[in-house]
Amino acid sequence: MFLYTHYISSCDKNQIKTAGKNGIAALRAVFVCLAAAVLALILCGCEVSSLSSLRSFSRPYLGEYICEYAQFGDTDLLPKFREIVLSLKDGGEFTLTALPKRGRKVSVSGTYEYSEENGMLTMRARVSGKDRRKDLLLQDGKFVVEHSFAGKKLIMKFKIRGA
């Protein structure tokens, strides 16, 4: 009987020691993986705050916007143009291009800034020797430009191409 008790107790001890060694090895492996991940983030220059927002990576406001409505006073301008396109490019530059059915292409370039907090698109351009600024609310890939010329209102509605 004594031999039987000794065998069971020695098996229990060996099993516990083995489990203990495997547990420490597993903890050590987890610690090494975590340390490697933190080190990789630090060396790559990534910040956790910038990784938290997928929107900051995708910049959905970039692209081409097609004019779907253009009116100056009582006159509908769209039948006079093949297309009116506003391109927001990476780097903060925009180009507004109007292709009339007759005549030459008209282009205006400038800079823009986009605020993700309030969805405001601020555009700046030099037109006729004067610096112009326009603040536009960009929602769901659409925005409206309103401006007065000689007592008449110009209204243009843009939507992102392909939407």
What pLDDT is stored for residue 41 in this prediction? 45
Mean pLDDT within 105-126: 91
Domain ranges in the chain? 2-52, 59-160
pLDDT range class, residue 149, cuts 50, 70, 90: confident
Token look-up 């779907």 returns: 68
The pLDDT of residue 130 is 87
* Mean predicted lDDT score pLDDT of the chain: 76
Task: Give residue-wise pLDDT tens across range 36-75.
Answer: 554 444 445 545 444 444 444 567 788 999 999 999 999 9
Output the CA angle 120-125-131, nearest 5 degrees: 110
Domain 59-160 has CATH 2.40.128.20: yes
Least confident of 29-33, 70-74, 111-115: 29-33
pLDDT score at 20: 52
Kindly tell me if the per-residue pLDDT of 33 is higher than 70.
Answer: no
The whole-number pLDDT of residue 50 equals: 46
